[in-house]
Amino acid sequence: MAETMRLEAAAARLRTALASLETVVDQRLESDRSQSVLAIQLDAAHADRARLAEEMDQAADRIAMLETVNRDVARRLDQAMDAVRMILKTNGA
């Protein structure tokens, strides 16, 4: 009978150890899944950053071009206003 009790105690310890092992394995699998999700999110963030950097560069180029056009338009308006003033002055208006 003592032998049976020892076997039952050993079996109980084995079940407890297996349950603990199963818990640790489940936690590890969940951790691995979480890391995979984080890696995917990080890759997406890097892709977004690259896309946004490209868009920002394009916007900066467009701003520079618009500033050049703006200066040219302002110069032409000044020339047109000077011409109108000269005509008005010449015609005595």
* DSSP string computed for 25-83: HHHHHHHHHHHHHHHHHHHHHHHHHHHHHHHHHHHHHHHHHHHHHHHHHHHHHHHHHHH
> For the whole prediction, is pTM greater than 0.85?
no
Taking the chain (93 residues) in runs of 10, the rounded mean pLDDT of each run is 88 94 93 92 96 97 98 98 95 75
pLDDT at 79: 98
